[in-house]
């Protein structure tokens, strides 16, 4: 195993783009279809899911460390910015929002949260807008909470306060 492939250790918090923040519980060797593979075992407690990522494919699959404080500050700055909701068809915007959420990039996810946030004075959202907003908010809050070392409730309150300001 090269040093490049062993960038993570058991107990590390990591981000998998399509699932969010998880924890590497172990590094195992498994035999799959006659091949011996070393895999990271990543658990996502909130989703009650376990993912096995081959060491050789970890970087290709997008597995990464938590954002640095600097990267998270940049994402939070995007939250505080002005909404840039485009006037294109909803189906096109929904696809763009889903792609940003699936990218796993906190700044992109923050843009989705910012653009879809509605306070009490704004019109009601459609069901699909609320679903995408909630997915983006959950994904952003999990990483924000991990970086800031907060529980998710406190992190959610802070994010919503930033959005309302």
pLDDT value at residue 125: 82
- The CATH code of the domain that includes 137 is 1.20.58.1290
Task: Decide if 5 is inside a domain.
Answer: no
Report which of residues 4 and 146 the model is more confident about: 146
What digits encode the pLDDT tens for the residues 26-42? 999 988 888 898 999 99
Task: Decide if 1 is inside a domain.
Answer: no
- Enter the tokens of residue 140: 């952003």
Considering the entire predicted model, what is its pTM?
A: 0.85
52 plus 75 within the same structural domain = no
83 plus 156 within the same structural domain = yes
- Domain of residue 50, residue span: 13-65
- Enter the tokens of residue 88: 């294109």
What digits encode the pLDDT tens for the residues 89-119? 989 999 999 999 999 899 999 999 999 988 7
């Amino acid at each position: 195993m090269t040093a490049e492939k062993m960038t993570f250790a058991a107990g590390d918090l990591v981000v998998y783009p399509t699932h969010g923040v998880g924890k590497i519980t172990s590094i195992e060797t498994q035999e799959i279809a006659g091949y011996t593979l070393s895999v990271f075992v990543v658990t996502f407690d909130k989703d009650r899911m376990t993912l096995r990522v081959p060491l050789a494919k970890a970087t290709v699959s997008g597995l990464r460390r938590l954002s640095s404080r600097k990267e998270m500050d940049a994402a939070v700055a995007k939250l505080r910015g002005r909404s840039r909701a485009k006037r294109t068809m909803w189906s096109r915007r929904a696809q763009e929002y889903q792609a940003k959420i699936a990218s796993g990039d906190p700044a992109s996810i923050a843009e989705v949260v910012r653009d879809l946030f509605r306070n009490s004075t704004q019109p009601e959202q459609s069901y699909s807008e609320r679903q995408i907003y909630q997915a983006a908010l959950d994904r952003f809050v999990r990483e924000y909470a991990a970086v800031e070392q907060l529980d998710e409730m406190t992190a959610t309150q802070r994010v919503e306060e930033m959005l309302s300001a």
